[in-house]
Homo-oligomer: A and B are copies of this chain.
Amino acid sequence: MNTFGHLLRVTTFGESHGPAIGCVIDGCPPGVAIAPEDFAHDLARRATGRSRHTSARREEDAVEILSGVYEGVTTGTPIALLVRNTDQRSKDYRDIARQFRPGHADYAYWHKYGVRDPRGGGRSSARETTMRVAAAVVAKKWLAERHGVTVRGHMAQIGDVLPRAHDWNAVEDNPFFWPCAEQVPELEAYVDALRKSGDSVGAKVVAVADGVPPGWGEPVYGKLDGELAAAMMSINAVKGVEIGDGFASVAQKGTVHRDVMTPAGFLSNHAGGVLGGISSGQPVVVSVAFKPTSSLRLPVEGVDVDGNVVDVITTGRHDPCVGIRATPICEAMLALVLMDQALRHRAQCGDVDEVTPRIPPSADA
């Protein structure tokens, strides 16, 4: 089950330390301008090794377009993208081939398949998310050109640190995608200390899509929020997903939660842009919880494939907080879900939304 989406279908393949990773994007409309250099920006945002706060593995991922693009535009046929794996260090992982690391997928993969590629986590490595980000470059481009939709994200919590302010302009100027510039030195110290301690910490990322028209989403089992939940939860290390107010809704009263509509616009967005599984025209807001990395330098008791107790020490290159690089990945999944839903909506209901009046996203917009 390595294919994602219904009409825009992305199939990814590849292991952390195999010869290559790649994807096939099927169902993309023809005529979208795509060049190999379009992928560089988002892949760099996701890459390890761009600051001292992520894994030391240097991912300098050059994307080769193998098919589906002719004279610079998509032809409607499958777009295959290939990235060769370069900075592999298989020896780092050799010792753990017969051990199960607590909190990792090792044990579950071994029980499922009876065989596993232990090199860098094999298929369960976050390396796979590279191709989600690559595929979403096409989706982001199409969404922007066709529908004026923009997708962006930021980190909203790391450990117990919360942003003191929210400034979209700050987000891309620090390695954490943090929306408050003045906190960045503090965060750097926090993560430095964490890395030295050998421990790790969780994080929360928020992804937002602006400009989504009302009407995207397919009740009742292809709801926009349902597919966003699956998309985000399929990212490595994710343990929770919220739409709009999410779990805060539990303690809210209905008179507080319901977003009042006026001809001038919605007065709030507790719903996070989704009503009844369909976009409402407001910004789509998704929050994603990342657990702390389980690959730690600190030894821990474990078991091996024969059931013996072993000391597990993980010596590879790892992130002290996988959430640090997760913002572009959450954006990618949001963009892929939206484009898929846009195509499905066009299929059933046609391209032009002639229903009027449309309420503005917010009253002060």
Contact = CB atoms under 8 A, between A and B. Distances in A.
Contacts of A249: 202, 239-240, 289-292
A128 B220 contact: yes
Contacts of A200: 253-254
A127 to B, nearest CB: 11
Q: State the oligomeric state as a number of copies.
A: 4
A278 interface: yes
Contacts of A290: 249-250
Interface stretch (A55-63, A178-186, A306-314): A306-314
A152 interface: no
Nearest to A231: B226
Interface residues of A, number: 160
Nearest to A308: B263
A364 interface: no
B108 A220 contact: no
Interface string A12-53: 111100111110101111110000000000000000000000
A252 B114 contact: no
A214 B108 contact: yes
Contact of A75 (B122, B158, B257, B358): B122
Contacts of A31: 113-115
The 7 closest A-B pairs by CB, nearest first: A105-B276, A1-B222, A103-B258, A200-B254, A347-B347, A108-B278, A307-B357
